[in-house]
Every structure is written in C-alpha cells, then in structure tokens.
Amino acid sequence: MRAQRGSTALPAALAAVAVSAALAGAVAEIARVELAIARHRAAGASALAAADACLAEVLAGRAPEWSFVALLAGPDGTQGTVDDGIVVAPAGCVARARTAPGPPTPSRVLLRIQANRGGGRRILDAVVGLDAVPGVPALVWLGRSPAGSAVGGTLSVDGANLDAGGADWAGLAAPADPEVLDAWLAAQAGHVVASARTAAPVTAMPPPFTALAARIRAAGPAGAEVLVPGTPSPALAFVAGDLGVTTALHGAGLLFVDGTLDIAGALDFTGLVVASGGIRIDGSGRLAVAGAIWASAPLVVDGSLALRYDVRAMASADGFATLPRRPVLRGLKDLG
C-alpha cells in the first residue's frame, strides 16, 4: 500500500514541477512582450514629438507669403527641377511638400513630415494654408533685430482686438529671439507704454518688402499727395525714396515708403504704413497709426509714436493690395 502511494505521488510532483515551469516561462514571456511594447511605445511617442516639433519649426521658418509656389519649387526656387517639393527641415526629420488635393483656392499645400528618434519613426501629413490675418499679429513688424533702434521719446502700443473672439496683437515682432526682444524693450523702460491687452513680443521672419513693393507698383498707386491736412480718402500710395513730413498730415489705406519715413511734423494714418528704410521721428515729431507699421530697423523715436490695432483698417489696406500671410496648420493626420 505504501509503495502504491509512492508510485502515484512522484508523477504528481513531476507534473506540478512541469506546470510551475510552464507558468514561470509564460510569465517571463509576458514580461518580455510587455517590455518590448513599452519600448516601442516610448520610441513611437518620442518620434511623434519630434515630428510635431519638426512641423512647428518648418512653419515658423517660413516668411509670410501670398502662395505656396516657392515652397513647392524647393530650395532652388525653380519649378520643374529635381529638388521640387524638398523643404529645408531640422536635423532628424525630412519634409516634402506637394499640392494639396481639392480646389486651388484657398491656397493650401500638403506637407509630409518624417521624423526618426529613439529608435522610432513617425510620419505626419499636414494640410497648411494661409492665415486670415495679413502679415504677423504685431503693431510694429521690423525687418531686422531692434538692436540699434532707440526710443528717447514715447512709444505707446495698444494691441487690443475689439472684435469679439479676435486675438490681441503684440507690440513688436522681429527676426530675433524673444529674449533679445524682451531685453530691447527693457532697455527702453520709461519710454514704452503698452496697454494691458498688448501681447508679448513675437519672433517673426522679416516683411517681404521687395515683393510687396513690386505688387504695389504694378497696381498703379498714387503718391505722397494722398497725405492731406484735412480728412483723407483711403488710398494706395507708393513713395520712391525717403519721405519727410514737416507739417500736420492725415492719410488712410496703405502707404509704402521705399526709403526712410522721417517725421518732423505730425502724421495720423489709418491702415498700414510700410517703410523699407526705417522710421525716424524727431523730438517735435508725432506719428499715430491705427493699424500697423512694417519697417526695416532702425526705428528711432525721439518724439511720439502711438499705435493701436484696428481690424478694419488692416482689412482696408489688404483690399488695396493683397498682403502676405503666415502659413498656418489647417489639418493633421498621423500616418504612424
């Protein structure tokens, strides 16, 4: 009887050992699979973050424009060549552009972004269009860093957007790091007054002065005679060379000065003032703009410069000569 019990106990023990080993192996395999999945998830998340950052940098590096013809033409700017659609992108990612499907208007482009990071790869398709707001969302848009510009008088900015749901504008935009813009404003302490609803300075590519000047000249603009002592009629005006203002004048619409705008008197303008050679306001001068200023530095304000955002004034300027717009994201698809 005892021998019989021993003969049945041994196989049972062996079976238990086998089951335990199988369970241990299964647990180890599950742990290995879960670890591999975690690694793949981490690599995928890292690559997705890299793709998002790449797309953001590509868009931020594009100057406001009228269409995506230059982007589709590639780095050489010529259509029909081998680099068509190639987009300069940060290290670790590749970007290609092609015409977006659908109607030709509004202008859109399809960007494919591929990023590799941490052993993972991610591909995004982004539909990019042009912003509804012309230029950049800033009252003063400079063509280069404000270093060298100075405010010895008073610069007052009010970026409040009074249209319901509209975003407030920054006081300043320029192709410089935000820290540089903040430092420049800090150096003008006591001379720059910003309303509570004026947004912080923004980094932006320079205004396309040359392309805009060509478009305005082709439209048959008026000249400096549109600036009058009384009530102005909105107009498109182009001044070849410097413009000096020594009396009290008013204007409206879009004024392009292909040189320096020199204010010794007073100028009140509703719309967009563009000065490719910069703006200088002497100690007795005053410039007030409801709309925006696009100018090359230096911006020298020894007198008074007052700006406030006016949606309708900018829309009026845009109606005289279609203004460039920033590329903005319209849709995004993760292709995995």
- pLDDT category, 50, cuts 50, 70, 90? confident
- Residue 312 is predicted with a pLDDT of 94
Amino acid letter for position 259: G
- Residue 34 is predicted with a pLDDT of 63
Residue-wise pLDDT for 58-113, tens only, equals 888 888 999 999 999 999 989 899 999 999 888 889 899 999 988 888 889 999 99
Question: Average pLDDT in the 14-41 region?
Answer: 63
In this predicted structure, the answer to whether residue 248 has a pLDDT above a threshold of 90 is yes
Residue-wise pLDDT for 214-243, tens only, equals 999 999 999 999 999 999 999 999 999 999
- Residue 267 is predicted with a pLDDT of 98
- Residue 247 is predicted with a pLDDT of 98
Q: What b/e readout covers 14-45, taking b as 16+ CB neighbours within 10 angstroms?
A: eeeeeeeeeeeeeeeeeeeeeeeeeeeeebbe
Return the DSSP state at 322. Answer: P
In this predicted structure, the answer to whether residue 276 has a pLDDT above a threshold of 80 is yes
Pick from 112-126, 179-193, 279-293, 302-316: least confident: 112-126
- Residue 43 is predicted with a pLDDT of 56
Cα 320 to Cα 332: distance, rounded to the nearest angstrom: 33
In this predicted structure, the answer to whether residue 142 has a pLDDT above a threshold of 60 is yes
Put residue 168 in one of left, alpha, beta given phi > 0 → left and psi -120 to 50 → alpha: beta
- pLDDT category, 46, cuts 50, 70, 90? confident
In this predicted structure, the answer to whether residue 5 has a pLDDT above a threshold of 60 is no
Question: Average pLDDT in the 147-168 region?
Answer: 90
Q: Which of 184, 175, 165, 163 is nearest to 309 (CA)?
A: 163
